[in-house]
Structure 1
Amino acid sequence: MHQASTCGARRADVIVIGAGLVGASTAWWLQQQGHAVVLIDPALAGPKGSEVGKPDPAVRSGSRAALGLLMADVAQRSSGRGWRLRQRSRILWDLWCRQLAEAGWPVPRRPGLLVLAGDAETQERQQRLVLERQKRGVPLEWWERPQLERLDPLVPAAALGGLYSPRDGQIDPIAALEALLGDGLRQGVQGLAERVLRLERPVNGGWSAVLAGGDHHRADWVVIAAGLGSAGLLRQVPELAGAAAIPPLEPVLGQALELERGPDANDEALWSWPGAVVWRGLNLVPRPDLAGGLRFWLGATLEPGERADPLALERLRSLKGEAPPWLQQARLLHSWQGCRCRPQGKPAPLLEALADGLLLVSGHYRNGVLLAPASAEWVAQQLEPATLPAAGT
């Protein structure tokens, strides 16, 4: 862990715009490095009567709609930026969860991920991936159908086998968000429940965020992690206006469900699954830690735009017509939705230095929870060469 320098140099002042999981991770990590951080997002106001730093749970940003799957070792690509970011985040989440727990902010993390194969082509591809990763020391396993049949509750009958990854898994995204915000504020992150209208360049350098309330907030660096709102802020920066440097971002809505298994569930082994299960791109996440031990999450749909499709929710509920009986009989507790931010014409995520002191960290699409730590680390690395000289030196 880097510490703030005491040898004649001061760390940078940073504004982070957007308090979703990526923005909160960035603010928390930069504070750990000794930077002075201001985190700005209207959602920090929370519901009426709550304190700053407790976002309103009714506000369903991409972070608060996520199921929190961590899919690092099972990624199809074995090299390149995406692979490196996934592997680095896997390591950092282990470190961060220990550190947050020691600070009094435990974050539920459940290891294990089973990706089922629903056809022969997927089965063959997964088996090749297991062999390739095992040669590199990545502990993937291939589970045959008889092994799947021993699981309780049963997985879809059409599953031919499954790719099991013990190092991947699932993290509670809301608990992680609240832990990062809570510990960050405790350590000195300044939270402002405001909306940023525009960014300006003062004549003496740095940046100024003009807030809806009329205040101007100055900093050496600005990190934009505002999801779908990022492009709107960038278009108001004179040196970027109309430039190809502003990537188009599109919303992809996701709907998710929380359900509860019926009373016929096996009380001795409520969930013998090795972790979360993925079936044809849909995620089933056991939550034995929740009241009763019978709850689970099911998600999420992929719907272009911001309008929810009731038919898509029905297909999700039935696992596209392949739900086993126990899932068909499960009781619906509630549903929710949120929009992920997907870049057009560029791979996700967008980690870009757009101007001197201006960084874009957005467009994580379906991997915002997984890649939040590596994204925060990337921001910190951009600031390192620009540590500012102490005044008067």
Structure 2
Amino acid sequence: MIGAGMVGLSVAWWLSEHGHRVALIDPALAQGQSSEAGSSAALGLLMAQIFRRSSGRGWRLRQQSLALWHSWREQLERRGHSMPLRPGLLQLAANAQEWQAQQELVQQRQRQGLPLRLVQHPELETLKPALPAAAMGGLLSPDDGQIDPIPAMKALLTDARRQGLDTLAEPVLRIERSGASKTERWCVHTSSGQRRLSHWLVIAAGLSSPALLAPLGHARPQSPVLGQALELQLPADCNAELWPGSISWGGINLVPRPSGRLWLGATVEPGNTKGSPEALEELLQLGGHAPAWLQQADVVGHWQGLRARPDNRPAPLLEALEPGLLLTSGHYRNGVLLAPASAAWVLEQIQSSEPLPRL
């Protein structure tokens, strides 16, 4: 398979866990994720039960992934791997319309037996550090949360290698139909001149996927959407870990970190590869609603990444393009969240041996 971001590593580990021999190809295996790679730049928010829809493909994928993340974490930590997963997600309502929508959503979730609850404004005011004063209320999902992407990817890779994962840290030049035999349908050509033959080929290469697929006649264009994020050192009297989880406000996420730090992200900048200073300032100011403690915080880190958003197709792309050729890409802002469900889909295709239409 091609691609060692969060999705690719999840697929490789899950297949290895189920007894499949897997070869994973990506130059990042040697040099690490690019500073602009979507996986390494992600904040790792798990927004599943708090998702506004209650049915359909997006809902099913999110619920499957959330359950898998919790079970994967337990499994990997029993084997000695670090998988920091912080439970809890509090989504704030910025206006009366959002507050009304949250009240309706919590009723739906309670009928489904899910533990979401409303947080009234007086309760919000008791939380420290203080949240934006304009928040009318909030919706707390204790089972959603945030997973740290870098340790998670390291755990998946290390454990997959323990199970026999073969890795090749080289760029892929092209892929082609092998025609050699029914058991070796695909040939991957790498930069060193190696030729890797396989019966199944999984493409999880993000923004590099369209260029690999185009020569085969599969047009799956994806556009880069840049996101910038910050790490802040909070004032000495501030500890965001006292919050009931990560905070979501107007599309901006605040993720508590150890040692009095906070992740703040992420901007949404289509067609931009350098990062807008204005967008970053808007992020830092929480759209004009930053509490005093946040304005006093020191910026100690800044990074950005490019997410792959499918053109004219819903995210993510989970497609059996032809016998033995699977695409799992274009996860846009939900690569970390949906990685386990994507891995489960790939496993289903391979175990059934009958490629299915797009999920």
For Structure 1 versus Structure 2, the TM-score category normalised by the shorter chain is over 0.9
Spell out, residue by residue over 1:201-242, the C-alpha distance to the aligned partner (whole angstroms, 9 max, x if none).
Answer: 1222410101111110011011000000000000122xx2xx
1:87 & 1:343 partners in 2: Cα distance? 22
> Is the CA contact (8 Å cut-off) linking 1:72 and 1:86 kept in structure 2?
yes
Counterparts of 1:241-280 in structure 2 under 5 Å?
245-265=218-238, 271-280=241-250
Contact kept? 1:351, 1:359, Cα under 8 Å: yes
Q: Is the 8 A contact 2:232 2:261 kept in 1?
A: yes
Q: Measure, in 2, the Cα distance between the counterparts of 1:247 and 1:201.
A: 18
For 1:31, what is the secondary structure of its paired residue?
helix
2:35–2:303 contact (8 Å) kept in structure 1: no
Residue matched to 1:234? 213
CA separation in 2, counterparts of 1:272 and 1:214? 54
The verdict on how the C-alpha distance between 1:63 and 1:120 changes in structure 2, with shifts beyond 3 A counting, is: same
- Name the amino acid aligned to 2:14: W
Alignment-derived partner of residue 325 in structure 2: 358
Instruction: Say which SS state the counterpart of residue 346 (structure 1) adopts.
Output: coil
Contact residue 240 and residue 256 of structure 2 kept, 8 A: no
TM-score normalised by the chain length of structure 2: 0.95
Q: Which residue of 1 aligns with 2:130?
A: 154
Is 2:281 the counterpart of 1:314?
Answer: yes
1:302 aligns with 2:264: no
Match of 1:332 in 2: 299
- Tell whether 2:65 aligns with 1:89: yes
Q: Which amino acid aligns with 1:333?
A: V
Supply the distance in 1 between the matched residues of 2:175 and 2:240 (Cα, whole angstroms).
52
Name the SS of the counterpart of 1:153 in structure 2: coil
Pair 1:24-2:3 in alignment? no
For the residues of structure 2 that align with 1:32 and 1:114, how far apart are their CA atoms? 33
Residue number in structure 2 paired with 1:367 = 334
What corresponds to 1:52 in structure 2? none
CA distance in 2, matches of 1:176, 1:183: 11
Question: Alignment RMSD, CA only?
Answer: 1.2
- Aligned residue for 1:4? none
Per-residue displacement from partner, 1:230-276 (whole Å, max 9, x unpaired)?
Answer: 00000122xx2xxxx422200100000000111233xxx66321000
Q: Which amino acid aligns with 1:275?
A: G
Q: Which residue of the partner structure matches residue 44 of structure 1?
A: 29
AA partner of residue 279 (structure 1)? W
Q: Is the 8 A contact 2:240 2:257 kept in 1?
A: no
User: What is the rounded CA distance, in whole Å, between the counterparts of 1:272 and 1:250 in structure 2?
Assistant: 38
Provide the C-alpha distance between the structure 1 equivalents of 2:314 and 2:177, rounded to a whole number of angstroms. 29
SS class of match (1:107) = coil
Given candidates 163, 176, 179, the residue that maps to 2:155 is: 179
C-alpha displacement at 1:346, in angstroms?
A: 1.2
Say if 2:213 and 2:220, in contact at 8 Å, map to a contact too: no
Deviation string 1:167-214 (CA, Å, 9 cap, x unpaired) is: 000000111111101111121111110111111112224101011111
Q: Which amino acid aligns with 2:244?
A: P
Deviation at 1:328, TM superposition (A): 0.3
Take 1:311 and 1:202, find their aligned partners in 2: how far apart are those partners?
Answer: 50
Q: CA deviation at 1:103?
A: 1.4
Task: Could you list the structure 1 runs, at least 4 aligned residues long, displaced by more than 3 angstroms after superposition.
Answer: none
Q: What is the letter of the counterpart of residue 294 of structure 1?
A: G
Q: Which residue of 2 aligns with 1:287?
A: 257
Unaligned runs of 5+ in 1: 1-15, 47-54, 388-393
Structure 2, unaligned runs of 5 or more? 355-359
Structure number, greater radius of gyration: 1
- Residue in 2 that maps onto 1:214: 193
1:279-314 per-position Cα deviation (integer Å, ceiling 9, x unaligned): 0000000013xxxx2011000000002231111111
Counterparts of 1:214 and 1:369, CA distance in 2: 32
Could you tell me the percent identity over the aligned residues? 56
Distance 1:231 1:173, change over 3 A: same
Q: Distance in 1 between matches of 2:86 and 2:123?
A: 21
Whole-angstrom distance in 2 between the partners of 1:296 and 1:250:
29
In structure 1, what is the equivalent of residue 77 of structure 2?
A: 101
One-letter identity of the residue aligned with 1:362: S
CA distance in 2, matches of 1:303, 1:296: 22
Kindly tell me the number of residue pairs found equivalent between the two proteins.
350
The alignment partner of 1:202 has SS state of: strand
Shift of 1:147: 0.4
Rounded Cα–Cα distance in structure 1 between residues aligned with 2:318 and 2:241: 38
Distance 1:336 1:109 in 2: 21
